[in-house]
Amino acid sequence: MVVRLLVAISFLLTPPSAPEVGQALAVPAYFQPGPLWERLDDPGVGIVVANPFSGPGKDFDPAYAAAIAKARAAGVTVLGYVATGYLGSTGRATWLGESDPQAWLAQAQQDVATWYRLYGEHGLGGIFLDEVQNVCQYAGAYRWLDSSIKSLHRGAFTVINPGIGTEECYSDIGDVSLTFEATYESYLSWQPPAWQRGKDPRRFWHLVHATATPEQMAEAMRLGKERGAGYIYVTPDAPANPWDTLPDYWDAELAAARTADTRPPHRPGPVRPVERESTSLTLAWPPTRDAAGYDVYLDGVRVAGTAGRTPAITLRDLAPGTRYSLAVRARDLAGNASAAGRAVQVATRPADGSPPASPGDLRATQVKVASVRLAWTAVPDAAGYDVAVDGRPLLRLPADTAAVPVSGLTPGRTYGFTVTARDASGNVSAPAGPLTVTTPTPSGEPITDGQGTIDGDTVTYRAQYNLPFDFHHVFMDVDGDAATGFATAGIGADYLIENGWFYRHTGTGWSWAPVEGPSPLVSSAGDLFVWRVPRGEIGPHRVVFHGAGSSPEAYSPIITVE
């Protein structure tokens, strides 16, 4: 009896072991649908990023549609890749050659709209925002972009990818932050920012490449759990593109991510409204003891998640005077989800009844073969503007916007654009428009007037691209040997310019390493592209200009640069 009592006391005094962080694999699947994609349809995979062409491309791909639908049926969230170009802060230019934040926000939203137009009905789960800044100066713009995606595409799951730790001002942006993207050697000594400690692990994702052995993979997975990464992917692959295959130890990695804890947390209590406005609801609910975070469902669709254990959230961009059904699920550290709490009906307040004026003088200030620049007269009490094309939502813009570039159009096609104003109360103006715009049809050769000059310490290239290419390439053969470098169009390219980036050829095939320095893109006015790179060891050499993407692939003749 005494022994049993001592054992019981010992048991009560021994603190319970800490719950283990459960992981799901989150994979940048930068390869074509096929056998590798089929291996992603596994319960251990939580997120897959689709990336047909550094974005959605312009045309529907039935192979991608089938792969996305199959992954969705297996419980995988498939995200579409969208670049944000660090909002131009590094000099990165949009397809139209602009580097200001508004141009990048517009291009990103247009890529989002294209993803949903092409693959929304096939199970697209949300958007992966790449090339994200990590300092508070840019947090407001990314918050606007995230909110716009979710307001125009209810239920969209979003990931932001700064690739490094962010400041805490990013904690409410996106559903997941990708805060590590580097080598295994770097990961061994890396630590997440202090503010992330104690947050829900399913808010963070780590990508670890150049992880050569299964033993190193297992150690990286262990460190990921220790550092609170609920999503992770480890691969032996290395730059320039470490995401173009799956690792040989794929099955072992799936096994390493699993946790023995499959018991769901307790069901949370019903929500109650703390504050009701015309376009937002602040909600709270009784806390669940074993919760690491909560997911909020609006009319049966998951629309938001908390960053941690605090049982409260504010939902924004709601319709005024509308009744919603709201419920909450709890998530524990292992990633298990509870049953949904009892659904509660909550209504937003009515709008103030005074809609803003319609934007005035909607016009096209520039029309090109694949783009148009819209402008309008600002509305004094507008909180933002919505742009639609042919009746489909395209952009949600801040109040200080009265002009926007629209890219990715088809040559020789007629479009109808409208713009409406929204006020802070949720009222929407009558639409301005439709404004009918017809893009011109190009004639002649796709790429003309290719030139190159060596002048002192720089080399300058220029060419006229007469079709709406997504990718504008300059291939440079600096050693005159077609057997070295990347074989293309009769030369062996040792260097490559792609849009606003400069690369050196490494290894074999399509293998490129970035060349450090400023963007080589000087301008792209009127579809005349001009690039400038340091001369370095570049002497007289041969060059081919190339266009690819949404237009048929095209090459210029070989030119000699002296």
Strand order in the sheet with 372-377: 360-367, 372-377, 403-406
Mean pLDDT (whole number) for 479-496: 94
pLDDT in tens, 489-498: 999 999 999 8
Q: Please report the pLDDT score of residue 168 as a whole number.
A: 95
Contacts of range 488-497, beta carbons closer than 8 Å, 24 or more positions apart: 488/544, 488/546, 488/555, 489/544, 489/546, 489/555, 489/558, 490/544, 490/558, 491/542, 491/543, 491/544, 491/558, 493/544, 495/533, 495/538, 497/461, 497/472, 497/473, 497/521, 497/531, 497/533
**Is pLDDT at 526 greater than 80 in this prediction?**
no
Mean pLDDT (whole number) for 113-130: 97
Tokens of 115: 């993803």
Contacts of range 102-109, beta carbons closer than 8 Å, 24 or more positions apart: 102/401, 102/404, 103/405, 105/141, 105/144, 105/145, 105/397, 106/395, 106/397, 106/404, 106/405, 106/406, 107/405, 107/407, 108/82, 108/83, 108/84, 108/145, 109/145, 109/148, 109/149, 109/394, 109/395, 109/396
Cα–Cα–Cα angle for 377, 423, 427, nearest 5°? Answer: 115
Q: What is the mean pLDDT of the chain?
A: 91
Q: Please report the pLDDT score of residue 2 as a whole number.
A: 34
- What pLDDT band is residue 198 in, cutting at 50, 70 and 90? confident
Containing 411, the helix (H) or strand (E) segment is none
Cα–Cα–Cα angle for 26, 108, 446, nearest 5°? Answer: 110
Q: What residues contact residue 498 under an 8 Å CB cut-off, 6+ apart?
A: 471, 472, 473
The CA distance from 261 to 18, in Å, is 12
Tokens of 411: 């040559």
pLDDT in tens, 56-101: 988 899 999 999 999 999 999 999 999 999 999 987 778 777 888 9
The CA distance from 515 to 504, in Å, is 6
Largest CA distance in the chain: 98
Mean pLDDT (whole number) for 420-431: 96
**Is pLDDT at 4 greater than 70 in this prediction?**
no
- What pLDDT band is residue 19 in, cutting at 50, 70 and 90? low
- Tokens 């095209």: give the residue: 554
Q: What's at 133, amino acid-wise? A: Q
Q: Please report the pLDDT score of residue 3 as a whole number.
A: 34
Backbone angles phi, psi at 371, to 5 degrees: -155, 160
Cβ 272 vs Cβ 312: under 8 Å: no
For the CA atoms of the chain, what is the radius of gyration? 26
Comparing 1-10, 121-130, 283-292, the range with the smallest average pLDDT is 1-10
* DSSP letter, residue 354: -
pLDDT in tens, 368-383: 888 899 999 999 999 9
**Is pLDDT at 181 greater than 60 in this prediction?**
yes
Mean pLDDT (whole number) for 49-53: 90
Mean pLDDT (whole number) for 49-61: 88
Q: Which residue has the higher pLDDT, 525 or 407?
A: 407
- Tokens 């090459």: give the residue: 555
Q: pTM to 2 decimals? A: 0.85
Comparing 75-84, 112-121, 252-261, the range with the smallest average pLDDT is 252-261
Q: Please report the pLDDT score of residue 14 as a whole number.
A: 34
Q: Please report the pLDDT score of residue 17 as a whole number.
A: 44
**Is pLDDT at 10 greater than 50 in this prediction?**
no
The CA distance from 560 to 562, in Å, is 6
pLDDT in tens, 296-349: 999 999 999 998 899 999 999 999 999 999 999 999 999 999 999 999 999 999
Cβ 494 vs Cβ 476: under 8 Å: yes
Question: How many C-beta atoms lie closer than 10 Å to residue 275's C-beta?
Answer: 10
Whether the bond into 103 is cis, omega within 30 of 0: no
Q: Which domains does the chain have, with CATH numbers?
A: 24-257 (3.20.20.70), 272-347 (2.60.40.10), 360-438 (2.60.40.10), 447-561 (2.60.40)
Comparing 28-32, 125-129, 294-298, the range with the smallest average pLDDT is 28-32
List of E strands, 37-175 = 45-50, 77-83, 126-130, 157-160
Nearest to 555 by CA among 411, 450, 481: 450
Question: How many C-beta atoms lie closer than 10 Å to residue 28's C-beta?
Answer: 25
**Is pLDDT at 556 greater than 80 in this prediction?**
yes
Nearest to 486 by CA among 512, 460, 447: 512
- Tokens 């992880």: give the residue: 211
**Is pLDDT at 467 greater than 90 in this prediction?**
no
Find the distance separating the first CA and the last CA of the chain, reported in whole Å.
Answer: 97
**CA pseudo-torsion sign 130, 133, 139, 144:** negative
Mean pLDDT (whole number) for 218-227: 96
Quick one: what percent of the chain has pLDDT higher than 90? 78
Q: Please report the pLDDT score of residue 21 as a whole number.
A: 87
The CA distance from 287 to 293, in Å, is 10
